[in-house]
Chain A
Amino acid sequence: AQKITQTQPGMFVQEKEAVTLDCTYDTSDPSYGLFWYKQPSSGEMIFLIYQGSYDQQNATEGRYSLNFQKARKSANLVISASQLGDSAMYFCAMREHNTNAGKSTFGDGTTLTVKP
């Protein structure tokens, strides 16, 4: 079964608007972490934001925030005030702390295009 599901292969957003990229996950490990990475067309993956399963608050990093709904097993990335430079592929990833020896599982990615 797919451990990380990103249901939106492609998304469009108008510059300066907010956009939500969906991520759902599947795990029976009570302790895990969720990561979002950005991959511009240049190819290099860049870490954006992290959410731990026991973190009390949703993570935020500048214009990025993570809408973490534990019971629904979703960890959606919200980008506020989109910029043209946000056009990229975005990956959601999960690391299970007890069961997977430090390995991360990645989703298939969502390609975001920001329109001027």
Chain B
Amino acid sequence: DVKVTQSSRYLVKRTGEKVFLECVQDMDHENMFWYRQDPGLGLRLIYFSYDVKMKEKGDIPEGYSVSREKKERFSLILESASTNQTSMYLCASNSQGTRNEQYFGPGTRLTVT
């Protein structure tokens, strides 16, 4: 079974803190994605990576950065957390190929106070 794990299910941070969200997949997938999910807004892509050390901005990259030093691990970084970054963060991965669905982690619910 494909497994995508995220470092925390729930996280509470203070405004201005640097926040790291970690995602690990065990299926040797080339592509990895970070989304945020907010009520009524669906899933919005923050960043994705199609190879080690490669990254591309998604639809809402402002205030976020990412790191992919190893194929299995994709980190999302909030350089200086703000209250409007309170959200559910979902990590996903898939292999190259047009028909390949994404596999999602359980999500991290981040609250910034």
Contact = CB atoms under 8 A, between A and B. Distances in A.
A31 to B, nearest CB: 7
Interface string A68-107: 0000000000000000000000010101010001111111
A107 B31 CA distance: 21
A11 interface: no
Q: How large is the interface on B (under 10, 10 to 19, 20 to 34, 35 or more residues)?
A: 20 to 34
Interface in B94-113: 96, 98-99, 101-107
B99 A52 contact: yes
Interface residues of A, number: 27
A50 interface: yes
A43 B42 contact: no
A12 interface: no
A106 B99 contact: no
A104 B35 CA distance: 11
Q: Tell me if B's interface is mostly helix, strand, loop or mixed.
A: strand
Contact of A45 (B31, B40, B50, B104): B104
Given A101-B50, A102-B31, A47 B102 contact: yes
Interface string B50-65: 1000001010000000
B43 A43 contact: no
B49 to A, nearest CB: 10
A44 B102 contact: no
A111 to B, nearest CB: 10
Given A45-B90, A107-B42, 17 more contacts: A9-B40, A33-B99, A44-B104, A45-B92, A46-B104, A47-B101, A47-B103, A50-B99, A52-B99, A91-B42, A101-B50, A102-B50, A103-B33, A103-B56, A103-B58, A104-B45, A105-B45
Interface of A: 4, 9, 31, 33, 35, 37, 42-47, 50, 52, 91, 93, 95, 97, 101-109
29 contacts: A4-B42, A33-B99, A35-B101, A37-B101, A37-B104, A42-B106, A44-B104, A44-B105, A44-B107, A45-B90, A45-B92, A45-B104, A47-B101, A47-B102, A50-B99, A50-B101, A91-B42, A91-B43, A101-B50, A101-B56, A102-B31, A102-B48, A103-B45, A103-B48, A103-B58, A104-B45, A106-B35, A107-B42, A108-B40
